[in-house]
């Protein structure tokens, strides 16, 4: 089975801190994604990557950046954490190809609280 591992289940950070969320997948997938999930808003795409060192903005990239130096690892960076970035963050991966025949495999999420 594909395994997508997010390094932390829970994080508490202070406003203004730089925060790193790490994600590793073990199935050699080309595509990797970062979403946030909020009650009433559903899943929203922050950034995605189709290859090493490539990144594309999703629907809500403001306040975030990403890094993909190795194929299996995709990091989400909150440059200066703010309270409105308190959320559940979900990483996902998929093999190359169109999204209809390459389903997403999600990690179990990191619940980030910014105080």
Partner 1 sequence: QKEVEQDPGPLSVPEGAIVSLNCTYSNSAFQYFMWYRQYSRKGPELLMYTYSSGNKEDGRFTAQVDKSSKYISLFIRDSQPSDSATYLCAIPGGGADGLTFGKGTHLIIQP
Cβ closer to partner 1: 11 or 43?
43
Name the residue with tokens 């395994």.
3
Rounded Cα–Cα distance for residues 73 and 104 (Å): 16
Residue 28 vs 56, nearer CB to partner 1? 56
Window 69-108: contact mask with partner 1 (x via CB under 8 A): ---------------------x-x-----xxxx-xxxxxx
The answer to whether 21 and 84 have CB atoms below 8 angstroms apart is: no
By CB under 8 A, name the one of 7, 13, 30, 43 that touches partner 1. Answer: 43
The Cα angle at residue 112 between residues 68 and 105, in degrees rounded to 5:
50
CA count, 13 A, side-chain hemisphere, 56: 10
CB of 99 to partner 1, least distance (A): 4
Q: How far is the CB of 68 from partner 1 (least distance, A)?
A: 15
The CA angle 5-72-92, to the nearest 5 degrees, is 50
Residues at the interface with partner 1 (CB under 8 A): 4, 33, 40-43, 45, 48, 56-59, 90, 92, 98-101, 103-109
């Amino acid at each position: 089975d594909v395994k997508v591992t997010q390094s932390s289940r829970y994080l508490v950070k202070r406003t203004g801190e730089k925060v790193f969320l790490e994600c590793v997948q073990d199935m050699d997938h080309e595509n990797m994604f970062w979403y946030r999930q909020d009650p009433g808003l559903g899943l929203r795409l922050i950034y995605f990557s189709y290859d090493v060192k490539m990144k594309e903005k999703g629907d809500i990239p403001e306040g975030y950046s990403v890094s993909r130096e190795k194929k299996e690892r995709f990091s989400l960076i909150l440059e200066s954490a703010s309270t409105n970035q308190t959320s559940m963050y979900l990483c996902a991966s998929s093999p190359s190809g169109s999204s209809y025949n390459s389903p997403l495999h999600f990690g179990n999420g990191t619940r980030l609280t910014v105080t």
